[in-house]
Amino acid sequence: MARYSASPPLCAQGKTRYSADQGCVGAAWAKGRDQLELPDPRIDPEAYFAGQASRGIDERTASALRMKSRTYVAFRIEAVDRPLGVIVFESVRTVEAAAKADCQLDADQIFDIMRGEGYGTAIEAALESASLLRTL
């Protein structure tokens, strides 16, 4: 489990294990990719929690999240013969708000880069190396 954010409080280690059948992590693990956009929890908490519930995240768990992300884009990373893990991009902005702020969170573009020549290979090799180190 690795985490990166430009905001130091969000870089702190959170959960070290994620259920294979919950959240965007679980959906991407099962289907190969997942995307979810949620309303602002401060304006419409009921719809926010319903959206989280659509991915198997209960209200108590969603309430405890430090980063109340509104946009999730998740992809399964695969080796030739098996899945290796899931990478998740998330933002507290919606896709529309990010575009207005001149930021891009385009799931198809991210997917193309991840699967593109060089990028996917490097990521898969890094994950494969990490999984081998854990077995030593």
CATH code (residue 113): 3.30.450
- Supply the range of the domain harboring residue 67: 18-135
3-state SS class at 82: coil
The label of the residue with tokens 């385009």 reads 106
Q: Is residue 117 part of a domain?
A: yes
Q: Is residue 131 part of a domain?
A: yes
Alpha-carbon distance 80 to 29, whole Å?
15
- Count of domains forming the chain: 1
Q: Is residue 1 part of a domain?
A: no
Residue 132 DSSP one-character state: H
- Give the predicted TM-score (pTM) of the model: 0.69
Q: Is residue 44 part of a domain?
A: yes
pLDDT in tens, 49-101: 999 999 999 999 999 888 898 988 888 888 777 888 888 888 887 766 655 65
Q: Is residue 3 part of a domain?
A: no
Q: Is residue 58 part of a domain?
A: yes
